[in-house]
């Protein structure tokens, strides 16, 4: 994690980039004081928000993950207990974590979540890249329309859109009915509650998160670089491989992270569209919590998942920072 | 065309705008112009039109550029220079007309199949590649052997004096260094023609003036045909063998800088190419050996030492270059080619001074004189009544 001065320096850089700067020598001391206060408030509010709504719940979950299951309210043992004679007893139950390692269910659920997320990310990349490219190269008025179309689904509830896919994919749903009406098939294809429907659901839901960052990098890219490559004798495919693709790497990384990370923990889509045998850690977590009512194990699953996901986030952050530093040098 | 010998090369060298012609490398250019007059054409633009929707960006342009020449496209912003250059590179397709490169019709040839290379105004260096890799990029596309590529890259970096920077990325270079990388990259493939779109626009004035001469030097060494787009008249004069002046998509005049300056064919060219005093007038006499023109702004008629065979009483304009006017406190006794006025302003520029003389007719005449003597007290000062005069063969008459 970053140190205090590091954070401060970064915040100041952001401020300067946003047009703040030091404001020149003409500012009075009062104005400068006000500016500093304003700066503090602007940076402080999000930190406070994160502290209240992310860090505190996280700490509570962390605490529960070290407790033991019991029947009662709350359904777990306390960590701290006053014993007679003035002893303070701390009981850290590591059994939950050991249990995760022992029961193959959890490990295979983790692995299969990672696999599903990785495959979905790849599919989203292959669909999203051409989309983003086409939008970035469209005329400005069309660009706005296309972008609106990409964002439009967000105006409908996520759940409703997933349910809509059930209507499309089920045995007497849109696709099967159409195919049978055309006489292409006699019996409905099993589409719903299969791997296919799972991937369709995830890719569909997260595609905008792939398209938008890709669009942002592709749109910023100087078209004259592509022309220069063509001018130097490069055919279109090689132009793409040697110039466009390397230069859109930041967008590819950002989009992939934005799809991969939430897809790993996805619960709703595998539950509604996935098959009975679809094993994903989000689903395991849910059933641990609500079916088994084993809060400590469920918390341990959640913490382990978080740790697994933090690693790619840190890699991503590191990459982004390097990118930002490089941009600053120019 | 009138006789060139009257003005001679030295005359022009001293009198055009300060810093422009004087900075040209001595000797090489005028000879080069003559030699290249017989060179074969490398680019033939044949009645090319380019429209964007209803807007005509390039309007029936025909132009021949000869092998080995340094040709400049000069014109104001938005006049279609870049569009014309991009059609030569193959990034835009002409709406009508043909483009021949090296005698072959290349109107519909893709950019990657044309034997021309372009140096972009923004340089368009690949930010993810080193200087070396940028220069090698074009050579790699030709599947040249590695050793040959390395040799050629070394040669090009030597040419632009960037060898110590070979391993750097473009964003670690200064503006001038980037410009040279772009030049090296576009020359590496031995193009038949190098297209340069405002190659020096991003450099500051000092660096730009030095780089103009460097570019000319490099062009002479490699012998490649250069087509340079610029909106800077001095830059075109400094660098080019021939200049095409463009205005709203059309070519107005194509000639050597000397001829454009001394024999502009329109008011537009006279005003665009250097400073000029323009007076509108009526043709009174048009004989084979002389003209007589009466201008409303001038008290005396204008006598010109050649005929133009225009219609009687046609409206014409006379163009007088500031350095071809003389200013004195004594009244000339000739019947024509002078006027009286009051000195409104004197701009002292060291080597030359410019007098702004308000003529009795109300028009302003700019007169430049050379400050030849170091200690001499200026005999003309503000608010003096002065007489502005010129020789009959120093008048340029244009009809449009
Ligand atoms: N792709 C395009 N679509 C529509 N109009 C265009 C396009 N490219 C150029 N134009 C128009 O054509 C005209 C000529 O443009 P061009 O870029 O050739 O000018 P220029 O002479 O290079 O000017 P400058 O000195 O400002 O670079 C301009 O009015 C421009 O708006
Ligand atoms: Mg231009």
User: Going from the N-terminus, what domains does chain A have, and what CATH number goes with each?
Assistant: 3-64 (no CATH), 95-329 (1.10.3720.10)
Q: Mark yes or no for CB contact A234/B172 under 8 Å.
A: no
pLDDT reading at B32 higher than 80: no
- Name the closest-CA residue to atom 12, ligand 1: B57
Whether the CB-CB separation of B191 and B115 falls below 8 Å is answered with yes
Q: Which residue on chain A is closest to B170 by alpha carbon?
A: A330
Distance in Å, CA B199 to ligand 2 centroid: 11
Reported as a single tens digit per residue, the pLDDT across B345-358 is: 888 888 888 999 99
pLDDT score of A27:
64
DSSP symbol at A69? B
Residues with CB under 5 A from ligand 2 (ion): B 82
CATH of domain B32-269: 3.40.50.300
Q: Which chain B residues have a beta carbon less than 8 Å from that of A230? A: 90-91, 110-112
Whether the CB-CB separation of B132 and B167 falls below 8 Å is answered with yes
Per-residue pLDDT averaged across B175-198, rounded? 92
Best probe residue, ligand 1, of B52, B76, B199, B249 (max atoms within 8 Å of C-beta): B52
pLDDT score of A12:
53
Ligand closest to Cα of B87 equals 1
For B315-375, strand residue ranges (E) read 315-320, 326-328, 338-348, 352-359, 364-370
Reported as a single tens digit per residue, the pLDDT across B50-107 is: 999 999 999 999 999 999 999 999 999 999 999 999 999 999 999 999 999 999 999 9
Sign of the dihedral through C-alpha A190, A193, A198, A204: positive
Q: Which residue on chain A is closest to B124 by alpha carbon?
A: A225
Best probe residue, ligand 1, of B58, B82, B200 (max atoms within 8 Å of C-beta): B82
How far is residue A277 from each of residues A114, A121, A193, A280, B369, measured CA to CA in Å? 16, 21, 9, 9, 96
pLDDT score of A310:
84
Report residue B30's pLDDT band, with 50, 70 and 90 as the boundaries: very low
- Name the closest-CA residue to atom 23, ligand 1: B78
* CATH superfamily entry for domain B275-398: Nucleic acid-binding proteins (2.40.50.140)
CA dihedral B168, B170, B173, B177 (to 10 degrees): 110
Per-residue pLDDT averaged across B12-24, rounded? 35
Q: Mark yes or no for CB contact A231/B112 under 8 Å.
A: yes
Q: Which chain A residues have a beta carbon less than 8 Å from that of B186? A: 231-232
Distance in Å, CA B111 to ligand 1 centroid: 19
Report residue B392's pLDDT band, with 50, 70 and 90 as the boundaries: confident
Helix (H) or strand (E) holding B275: none
Q: Mark yes or no for CB contact A225/B126 under 8 Å.
A: yes
- Chain centroid, CA B307 distance in Å: 28
Q: Which residue on chain A is closest to B136 by alpha carbon?
A: A232
Atom of ligand 1 nearest to the CA of B121: 27
Whether the CB-CB separation of B204 and B172 falls below 8 Å is answered with no
C-alpha to C-alpha distance for B198 and B212, rounded to whole angstroms: 11
pLDDT score of A4:
47
Q: Is A281 left (phi over 0), alpha (psi -120 to 50) or beta?
A: alpha
DSSP symbol at B199? T
CATH 3.40.50.300 range(s) for chain B read: 32-269
> Going by C-beta distance under 8 Å and a sequence separation of 6 or more, which residues neighbour residue A203?
A120, A123, A124, A127
- Ligand 1 binding pocket (C-beta < 6 A) is B 52, 55, 57, 75, 77-83, 231
Q: Is B122 within 8 Å of chain A by CB?
A: yes
Query: Which residue in B117, B128, B172 is closest to A231 by CB distance?
Result: B117
- Name the closest-CA residue to atom 22, ligand 1: B82
C-alpha to C-alpha distance for B399 and B389, rounded to whole angstroms: 22
pLDDT score of A6:
54
Q: Which of A224, A231, A249 to mutate to test the interface with B (most CBs of B within 10 A)?
A: A231
Ligand closest to Cα of B75 equals 1
Q: Mark yes or no for CB contact A232/B110 under 8 Å.
A: no
Q: What percent of chain B shows pLDDT beyond 70? A: 89
Q: Is A325 within 8 Å of chain B by CB?
A: no
C-alpha to C-alpha distance for A224 and A247, rounded to whole angstroms: 13
Whether the CB-CB separation of B170 and B114 falls below 8 Å is answered with no
Among A62-71, A138-147, B253-262, B279-288, the range scoring the smallest mean pLDDT is B279-288
pLDDT reading at B245 higher than 90: yes
Distance from CA of B171 to the nearest CA of A (A): 5
Q: What percent of chain B shows pLDDT beyond 90? A: 51
Distance from CA of B186 to the nearest CA of A (A): 7
Write down the number of H helices and E strands in chain B.
10, 20
Q: Among residues B209, B199, B208, B151, which one has the least CA distance to residue B179?
A: B199
Per-residue pLDDT averaged across B312-329, rounded? 87
C-alpha to C-alpha distance for A135 and A129, rounded to whole angstroms: 10
Q: Mark yes or no for CB contact B171/A326 under 8 Å.
A: yes
Report residue B7's pLDDT band, with 50, 70 and 90 as the boundaries: very low
Q: Mark yes or no for CB contact B89/A231 under 8 Å.
A: yes
Reported as a single tens digit per residue, the pLDDT across B104-125 is: 999 999 999 999 999 998 899 9
CATH 2.40.50.140 range(s) for chain B read: 275-398
For chain A, strand residue ranges (E) read 80-83, 87-90
Best probe residue, ligand 1, of B48, B49, B57, B200 (max atoms within 8 Å of C-beta): B57
Distance in Å, CA B231 to ligand 2 centroid: 9
pLDDT score of B15:
34
DSSP symbol at B87? H
pLDDT reading at B5 higher than 70: no
Residues of chain A below pLDDT 50: 1-4, 18-24, 330
Q: Which residue on chain A is closest to B119 by alpha carbon?
A: A228
pLDDT score of B2:
41
pLDDT score of A327:
60
């Amino acid at each position: 994690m970053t140190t205090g001065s590091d954070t401060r320096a970064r915040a100041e850089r952001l401020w300067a980039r946003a047009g703040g700067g030091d404001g020149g020598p003409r500012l009075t001391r009062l104005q400068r004081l006000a500016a500093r206060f304003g700066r503090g408030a602007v940076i402080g509010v999000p930190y406070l928000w994160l502290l209240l709504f992310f860090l505190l719940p996280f700490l509570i979950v962390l605490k529960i993950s070290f407790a033991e299951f019991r029947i009662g309210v709350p359904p777990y043992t306390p960590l701290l207990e006053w014993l007679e004679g003035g002893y303070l007893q701390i009981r850290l139950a590591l059994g939950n974590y050991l249990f995760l390692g022992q029961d193959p269910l959890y490990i295979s659920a983790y692995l299969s979540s990672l696999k599903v997320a990785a495959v979905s990310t790849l599919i989203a990349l292959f669909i999203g890249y051409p989309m983003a490219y086409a939008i970035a190269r469209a005329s400005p008025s069309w660009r706005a329309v296309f972008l609106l179309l990409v964002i439009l689904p967000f105006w409908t509830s996520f759940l409703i859109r997933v349910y809509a896919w059930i209507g499309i994919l089920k045995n007497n749903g849109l696709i099967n009915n159409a195919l049978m009406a055309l006489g292409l098939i006699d019996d409905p294809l099993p589409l719903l509650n299969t791997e296919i429907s799972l991937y369709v659901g995830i890719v569909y839901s997260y595609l905008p998160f792939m398209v938008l960052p890709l669009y942002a990098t592709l749109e910023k890219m100087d078209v004259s670089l592509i022309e220069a490559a063509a001018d130097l004798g490069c055919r279109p495919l090689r132009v793409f491989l040697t110039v466009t693709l390397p230069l859109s790497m930041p967008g590819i990384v950002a989009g992939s992270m934005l799809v991969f990370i939430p897809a790993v923990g996805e619960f709703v889509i595998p539950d509604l569209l996935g098959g009975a045998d679809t094993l994903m850690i989000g689903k395991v977590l849910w059933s641990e919590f609500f079916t088994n009512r084993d809060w400590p194990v469920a918390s341990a699953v959640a913490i382990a998942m978080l740790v697994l996901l933090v690693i790619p986030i840190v890699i991503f952050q590191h990459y982004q920072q390097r990118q930002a530093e490089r941009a600053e040098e120019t | 065309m009138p006789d060139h010998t009257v003005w001679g090369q030295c005359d022009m060298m001293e009198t055009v705008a300060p810093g422009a012609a004087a900075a040209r490398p001595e000797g090489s250019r005028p000879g080069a112009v003559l030699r290249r007059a017989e060179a074969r054409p490398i680019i033939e633009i044949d009645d090319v039109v380019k429209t964007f929707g209803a807007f005509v960006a390039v309007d029936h342009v025909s132009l021949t550029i000869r092998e080995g020449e340094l040709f400049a496209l000069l014109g104001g912003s938005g006049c279609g220079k870049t569009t014309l250059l991009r059609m030569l590179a193959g990034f835009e397709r002409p709406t009508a007309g043909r483009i021949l490169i090296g005698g072959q019709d290349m109107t519909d040839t893709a950019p990657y199949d044309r034997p021309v290379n372009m140096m972009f105004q923004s340089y368009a260096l690949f930010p993810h590649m080193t200087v070396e890799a940028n220069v090698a990029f074009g050579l790699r596309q030709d599947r040249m052997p590695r050793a040959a590529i390395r040799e050629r890259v070394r040669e090009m970096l030597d040419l632009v004096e960037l060898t110590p920077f070979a391993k750097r990325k473009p964003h670690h270079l200064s503006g001038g260094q980037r410009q040279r990388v772009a030049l090296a990259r576009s020359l590496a493939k031995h193009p038949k023609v190098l297209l340069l779109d405002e190659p020096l626009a991003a450099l500051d004035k000092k660096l730009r003036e030095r780089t103009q001469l460097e570019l000319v030097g490099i062009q002479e060494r490699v012998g490649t045909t250069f087509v340079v787009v610029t909106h800077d008249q001095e830059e075109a004069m400094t660098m080019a063998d021939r200049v095409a002046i463009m205005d709203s998509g059309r070519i107005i005049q194509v000639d050597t800088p000397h001829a454009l300056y001394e024999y502009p064919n329109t008011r537009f060219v006279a005003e665009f190419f250097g400073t000029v005093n323009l007076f509108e007038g009526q043709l009174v006499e048009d004989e084979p050996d002389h003209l007589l023109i009466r201008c409303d702004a001038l008290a005396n008629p204008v006598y010109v030492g050649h005929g133009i065979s225009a219609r009687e009483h046609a409206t014409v304009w006379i163009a007088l270059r500031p350095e071809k006017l003389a200013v004195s406190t004594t009244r000339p006794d000739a019947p024509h080619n002078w006027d009286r006025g009051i000195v409104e302003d004197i701009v002292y520029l060291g080597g030359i001074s410019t007098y702004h003389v308000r003529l009795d007719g109300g028009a302003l005449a700019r007169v430049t004189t050379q400050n030849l003597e170091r200690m001499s007290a200026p005999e003309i000062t503000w608010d003096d009544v002065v007489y502005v005069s010129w020789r009959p063969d120093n008048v340029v008459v244009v009809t449009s």
